[in-house]
Amino acid sequence: MKTKQLSNARRSLASLSDVTKAELEAWFDLALRLKGETKAGKPQNILAGKNLAMIFQKSSTRTRVSFEIAMRQLGGGALYLSGNELQLGRGETIADTARVLSRYVDGIMARVFAHSDIVTLAKYATVPVINGLSDFSHPCQAVADYLTVLEHKGRLTGLTLAYVGDGNNVAHSLLFGGAKLGVNVTIVCPKGYEPQKAVVDRAESDGRQSGARIIVSDDPAAVKGADVIYTDVWASMGQEAEHAERVRIFKPYQVNARLMAMTGKKDALFMHCLPAHRGEEVTDEVVDSPNSVVLDEAENRLHAQKAILVSLMA
């Protein structure tokens, strides 16, 4: 049940910029197969005897539960390691942590602040490293997101996803993934809050190969024609001091019934990586609407990550 190996010699997942279209599609196929088996109650012992270390510098609900349950359902084990409890908090280098953990476990998942920590872990670990979230990228989320769109729309190529909000790590991963998969990605955000230029440039380059169109705009009307509207919190963890100012700046970009109607499509999906700050980036009316697939999206974190774990650790 293995998928193709990643080109990275250590088969780590730091960003979707490093993953090919074929690898993404293989993950979707495997995730759907594993999801069906899980629903049918079929035992999955693909990772029996394997253990995953889970490093959390940032607190989490979906990432921790989905990875831990994924390993259990695959027959393996998962070990939760708080950033405050590790020797990292007392001065041990990330490189040494990577080397030591590699002697104990078969894989490392890390949810961190600085993306450079993921890069260093992947460089020095001799086991696969999976980015559970960093300030630059959230690859597992984007894999689950596009899996969800595929389930609901039956295809990805030629669809348009409009991300409305801060050009953050989620926006980066949606750009990387969409550009490879042939999904048109429109980022709608206030001036000064755009995704990193290097990310947009890379997405545009990949889009020229896949046929995907990449647009960055500060006009909410740019969502016209979108098949999917996606948003995220306006102030991420670590940006609490900016919250009040961000609420003021992002208010015109709230995803509400009016903005959803601007797509011109009654069947436009609404997506959010959660947790949602209801009344800020999205209204109750939208997040609880029949068009909202946020719970399917959250569930698919489990199935997408199982596919990634099997691909990297089996």
Active-site residues: which are they?
Answer: 111, 138, 141, 232, 273, 301
User: Which secondary-structure segment (H or E) carries 214?
Assistant: strand 214-217
Q: How far apart are CA 234 and CA 247, in angstroms?
A: 7
| Chain centre to alpha carbon of residue 17 | 12
Provide the β-strand partners of residue 111: 56, 133
Only one residue has tokens 């999955």, namely 44
Q: How far apart are CA 30 and CA 290, in angstroms?
A: 27
List CB contacts of 238: < 8 A, sequence separation 6 or more. 113, 135
Q: Please, are residues 268 and 226 in contact by the beta-carbon 8 Å criterion?
A: yes
Q: How far apart are CA 4 and CA 93, in angstroms?
A: 32
> What Å distances lie between residue 125 and 89, 132, 190, 281, CA to CA?
19, 16, 39, 38
Q: How far apart are CA 221 and CA 304, in angstroms?
A: 32
User: Which secondary-structure segment (H or E) carries 305?
Assistant: helix 294-313
Q: How far apart are CA 32 and CA 46, in angstroms?
A: 15
Q: Please, are residues 167 and 193 in contact by the beta-carbon 8 Å criterion?
A: yes
